[in-house]
Amino acid sequence: MKKIIIKFIDDDDEATSLWNSGEARWIAGNMNLDTLMDRAGIQLNPMFATHYYFIRSDSAPWNDYRVRRALTLALPWSEIRANYILPAETLVLPLQGYPGIEGMAKTDVNEALRLLAEAGYPKGAGLPELVVKIGDYAEAQRLAEIMATAWLEKLGVPVKIKAVSPYNYSDSLKERDYHVGSMSWIGDFADPYTFLLLFRQDSNLNEAGYSDQDYEDLIQKSMTEEGATRMNTLAQAEKLLLDRGVVLPIYHTPALNIVDTDEIAGWYPNMLDIHPFKYLGFALLKPLPGVAFAPKH
């Protein structure tokens, strides 16, 4: 009888060679696309996941939303997102039934300077050093350098980039020795709340230290609503996060699989990239056009 054999392989080239040899009919995870021989099995779709930066708002002067908003308006967003298949202007991946909102894509240095002056920091005067904590790898360094350059040259904000081992990065966010950090989040289910809960004031996932009664009121209001009304309220909450400079979306994570759907039945791309084995099966062998199979006796 046919059976499923699962192999856990750390080496991209080895995983790809299993596909090329025909031994593997489904590869989930890392692989070497350059050496992939049969590309017919490539399945690429957006996951319900977002990589974003956040500005901590639990200490002055970064607890003033005008200062955070100024920082976001000074950034060259097209340059920041240039390397990504699915650039993200919003925190929540667009969902059916979820209203589209104006994302974070605008650069307006004049408005940024106006906001800083209104907050008491004309042309950045009086602002302390802003510490950006990143994982120590090339792409994170690229993003941090773009941000640091924009903030210093356009707003006069001094910036320090602090790189730590990627393997310890998540734990290091608890140290609170920075002002800007990054996270990748995958929604547990296809609903905006799985992202918006991250910024509730009592959430242990709230690395930004965000506490905003306007935001809490909108989330609480959504708890008493259903359908389109609830979705509209959640969209207002997400818009508040963006407008008040709490979250800086960078890209939505793509799900990449290589799978032979002629042989494996019941496999479909989906935004959670979950494929329970109980729904999969071995497809019936299909004859070539013009070729008939002899009936079995």
**Could you give the count of Cα atoms lying within 13 Å of 214 in the half-sphere of its Cβ?**
9
Cβ within 8 Å of residue 176, ≥6 positions away:
56
Q: Residue 294's beta-bridge partner residues?
A: none
Please give the pLDDT value at position 215: 97
Within a 13 Å sphere around the CA of 244, how many CA atoms are in the beta-carbon half? 21
| Residue spans of beta strands (DSSP E) within the chain | 26-28, 42-55, 130-135, 159-164, 180-186, 247-259, 264-265, 281-282
Q: What is the pLDDT of residue 287?
A: 56
User: Model confidence over 228-281: pLDDT tens digits?
Assistant: 999 999 999 999 999 999 999 999 988 889 999 888 899 998 888 889 999 988
Instruction: Write out residues in the chain with pLDDT < 70, as ranges.
Output: 285-297
Residue indicated by tokens 């995870």? 29
pLDDT at site 295: 53
- Total residues found in the chain within this entry: 297
Q: What's residue 63's pLDDT?
A: 96
Task: Give CA angle at 177 (171, 183), nearest 5°.
Answer: 45
Place domain 47-253 in its CATH homologous superfamily.
Dipeptide-binding Protein; Domain 3 (3.10.105.10)
Taking the C-alpha atoms of residue 235 and residue 32, their distance in angstroms, rounded to an integer, is: 38
Nearest to 157 by CA among 167, 142, 147, 168: 147
Angle between helices 109-118 and 138-155 (to 10 degrees): 70
pLDDT of residue 9: 87
Domain ranges for the chain, please list them: 12-46+255-282, 47-253
Query: How many Å is the maximal CA-CA distance in the chain?
Result: 89
Gap between the Cα atoms of 203 and 200, Å rounded: 5
pTM of the model: 0.83
The per-residue pLDDT for 184 is: 94
Per-residue DSSP letters for 214-248?
A: HHHHHHHHHTT--HHHHHHHHHHHHHHHHHTT-EE
The CA-based dihedral angle spanning residues 114, 103, 207, 165, taken in that order and rounded to the nearest 10 degrees: -100
Write the pLDDT tens digit of every residue in 130-160. 999 999 999 999 999 999 999 999 999 999 9
